[in-house]
Amino acid sequence: MKLRAILRSRGSGSGSGSWAWAPPPPPPPRTRRGYLTSSHAHGPSSPPLLPHTIPQHFSSIVSTHGDRLGVISRSQNTRLTYRELDERSNALARGLQERGVRKGDRVVVNLGNGWENAVLSYAVWKVGGVLVPLNPAFNSTQVIAALSHLAAAHLVIGTETNLPYKQPRENISLLKQIVPDLASSRVESAAVQSLRNIILVDNSEDRVDISPLKATIPFTDLINGTDGGREVVPDEPLHRDDIVNIQFTSGTTSLPKAACLTHHSILNNGYFIGERMGLTPEDVVCCPPPLFHCFGCILGYMATATHGSAILFPSEAFNPEASLRAVQEERATALYGVATMFVAELDLLASGIVPHEGFEHLRTGIAAGSSVPSNLMAKLHETLNLTGLTICYGMTETSPVSCMTTPTDPLEKRLDSVGRLMPHVEAKIVAVDDPSRILPIGERGELVVSGYLVMKGYWGDVARTEEVRIVERVVEDGEAREKVWMRTGDEAEMDAQGYVKITGRIKDLIIRGGENIHPLEVENALFKHPAVSEASVVGLPDERYGECVAAFVVVHPHIRVGVDDAGKGEAAVDIDEENNKGEATRDRGEVLTKRDVREWVRSQLSNHLVPRYVFWVSEYPKTASGKIQKFKLREMGVKMLRDAELVRGRMRS
């Protein structure tokens, strides 16, 4: 039987403090879960919320599991125990303090998945700084905007950026857009006047010469300049409600926002995720999702670190082959990913590029970030032995996970829902046009969430914070207080057992002739076709119905696509030039036509759900965490239809 323990304070609630181990309280007696009468549920009240700051809890993990592996970076051939992770982060923390990092300072980080990023996270938290991970795909304009918005004084960046499926990109050109004179002895930036330090991680394997860059500070100088054995003392005491993490929202909309998260919210969220997965110190969790995103940072790093498990980074950026090889070499017991990542990995196994062996140790993992079609789940169970795969649902603004399945949930619930509420989380389904009205069981509306996990707000943006939060006056234990609800923007329904099913983004609903069409329903039907690798559905303007269904389809590499739809308004845009690069590989194998796609959907769904438009594409515009940016798909679809109309107009004239 696995023994969990909790920490009890012998001192104040701030700072690193002094702590002693005490046995956990006995579990409450098991009772039969009651059935809900409306779409309003509470998660379990046990185990209790952790009361600590992140450094306090990490100290307890190091004391108990110091000799166990904490971080494995395959691409860097580096393995760190929890004690080594503690010592390196101590040394780096003091190096940051010497460079002026104080409690509350925003430390902006532009790095891939590697040991430096892992060490830096704890170093920043130990000094009381605010960790601000950036998407490495950001260009100079976006980096400048982020630094300026946060009035950040400190930037940590690699000499190169690695992105999925691309060659390394040097970052010196980007830095010169921020600080034109990098040869100077100090940082001077007209674009970001708050900037004082640029800390450079040399990950280029000597492809980039950093010797002339006198304005920058080598990462190795900071981490090697001080002793890692001594405890770090922040300039001000730490408190669990301090903001310690600012996450820029992923960008499925065009305007990212900076969500402010606390010690209390991300520590507990990571802890409860690990609990629901059943993580132990024996587990090795392979984590391809990026650390700059909540998936890698909290579902990955925080969940493993709160349970003494090892986190395994296959590569700096997602690489499906590296991910599978890492699982094989390290005998990983868990694998994380979004649907598109799992599809890429399964394709490698199907093609024989990676041998189908060495996956017998896998038992669990997390699929998150976007919907996972049921037949993909079945393949993951069968092919990768992920019979205990869990589904997580959440958003950056809720630290992030509010709902999650368990490995022991009934199979149909793991395939058809995002599970039930996490501990100490409350949620309800409300009417879109009246958030005060809770809907009956099984009725679709907007999911709203409350609890410890709700963000403090968007940094420097009161107006947008108020748009997404509902503040309710409640009386509990005789005292009046404010309860904050987070509007998720997701359409969902709840069953009588409290399982939540996400049916789509409210703004992604297609309204055809006054009837609501849920893209996920059509996507699931398309994904079942044996020739289809990926499918995404959006609504496009339609003169008769207002909107119509448009499907963007990616086929498997051996499938050849055919044109059979002249006169339907899209024949000229079957495959655009960019996507035509792979046409030589499509000359062999089976043929899939647009008529085939429509007939397939018609055979499974009602006629009004059949796509009017089918576009062949080789890839989707995505966030770096793998979410499809549907607003960009809509823009692409409108443009392709407009271009096709111009072509037809020229032909008629």
DSSP code per residue over 56-125? HHHHHHHHHHTTSEEEEETTTTEEEEHHHHHHHHHHHHHHHHHTT--TT-EEEEE--SSHHHHHHHHHHH
**Distance (Å, whole) CA 606 – CA 610:** 7
- Residue 579, pLDDT > 70, answer no
Peptide bond into 47 cis (omega under 30): yes
Contact 212, 182 (CB under 8 A): yes
- Residue 16, pLDDT > 60, answer no
Average pLDDT, the chain: 88
Peptide bond into 373 cis (omega under 30): no
Q: What is the mean pLDDT of residues 535-555?
A: 91
Contact 247, 259 (CB under 8 A): yes
Amino acid at 200: L
Please report the DSSP string for 424-491 in residue order: TEEEEEEETTEEEEEPPTT--EEEEEEETTS-SEETT-HHHHHHHEEEEEEEETTEEEEEEEEEEEEE
pLDDT number for residue 544: 80
**Distance (Å, whole) CA 305 – CA 302:** 5
**Distance (Å, whole) CA 348 – CA 355:** 9
Cα distance between the two ends of the chain: 79
Domains of the chain as residue ranges with CATH: 509-652 (3.30.300.30)
* Residue 425 CA neighbour count, 13 Å, CB half: 28
Contact 104, 130 (CB under 8 A): yes
Peptide bond into 621 cis (omega under 30): no
**Distance (Å, whole) CA 309 – CA 271:** 12
Contact 107, 197 (CB under 8 A): no
Q: What is the mean pLDDT of residues 96-119?
A: 98
* Stretch (H or E) spanning 650: helix 630-652
Residue 542 burial by Cβ neighbours in a 10 Å radius (0-12, 13-18, 19+): middle
**Distance (Å, whole) CA 316 – CA 73:** 9
Residue ranges in 185-284 assigned as alpha helix (H): 219-224, 263-277
Of 285, 303, 286, give the one whose Cα is nearest residue 294: 303
pLDDT number for residue 26: 47
- Residue 4, pLDDT > 70, answer no
Q: Residues of the chain with pLDDT > 90: what percent?
A: 71
Q: Tokens representing 564?
A: 């059979």
When comparing pLDDT for 56 and 609, which is higher?
56
Return the minimum-mean-pLDDT range out of 146-160, 163-177, 478-492, 561-575. Answer: 561-575
- Residue 296, pLDDT > 70, answer yes
Local structure of 310: helix, strand or coil:
strand
Q: Tokens representing 234?
A: 């922040």
- Per-residue pLDDT reduced to its tens digit, 144-185: 999 999 999 999 999 999 999 999 999 999 999 999 999 999
Of 325, 283, 319, give the one whose Cα is nearest residue 300: 283
- Residue 41, pLDDT > 80, answer yes
DSSP 191: S
Contact 107, 156 (CB under 8 A): yes
Find all residues with CB under 8 Å of 172, minimum gap 6, and list them: 159, 182, 208, 213
**Distance (Å, whole) CA 299 – CA 401:** 8
pLDDT number for residue 513: 76
* 14 — pLDDT class (breaks 50, 70, 90): very low
Q: What is the mean pLDDT of residues 507-518?
A: 80
**Distance (Å, whole) CA 541 – CA 636:** 12
For the chain, what is the largest distance between any 2 Cα atoms, rounded to a whole number of angstroms? 85
Q: Tokens representing 297?
A: 């940072």
- Residue 19, pLDDT > 70, answer no
pLDDT number for residue 580: 35
- Residue 601, pLDDT > 70, answer yes
pTM for the structure as a whole: 0.82
**Distance (Å, whole) CA 334 – CA 328:** 11
Contact 644, 573 (CB under 8 A): yes
Return the minimum-mean-pLDDT range out of 104-113, 314-323, 375-384, 416-425. Answer: 375-384
pLDDT number for residue 564: 62
* Stretch (H or E) spanning 304: helix 303-305
- Residue 100, pLDDT > 80, answer yes
* 32 — pLDDT class (breaks 50, 70, 90): very low
Provide the sign of the torsion angle of the four alpha carbons 405, 407, 410, 413, taken in this order: positive
Q: Tokens representing 425?
A: 């989380």
- Residue 36, pLDDT > 90, answer yes
* 624 — pLDDT class (breaks 50, 70, 90): low
**Distance (Å, whole) CA 426 – CA 434:** 19
Provide the sign of the torsion angle of the four alpha carbons 37, 38, 43, 46, taken in this order: negative
3-state helix, strand, coil in the chain (%, to 5): 30, 25, 40
Contact 183, 213 (CB under 8 A): yes
Contact 49, 264 (CB under 8 A): yes
- Residue 22, pLDDT > 60, answer no
When comparing pLDDT for 644 and 403, which is higher?
403
Find all residues with CB under 8 Å of 20, minimum gap 6, and list them: 7, 8, 10
Mean pLDDT comparison of 114-128, 521-535, 631-645, highest-scoring range: 114-128
pLDDT number for residue 652: 66
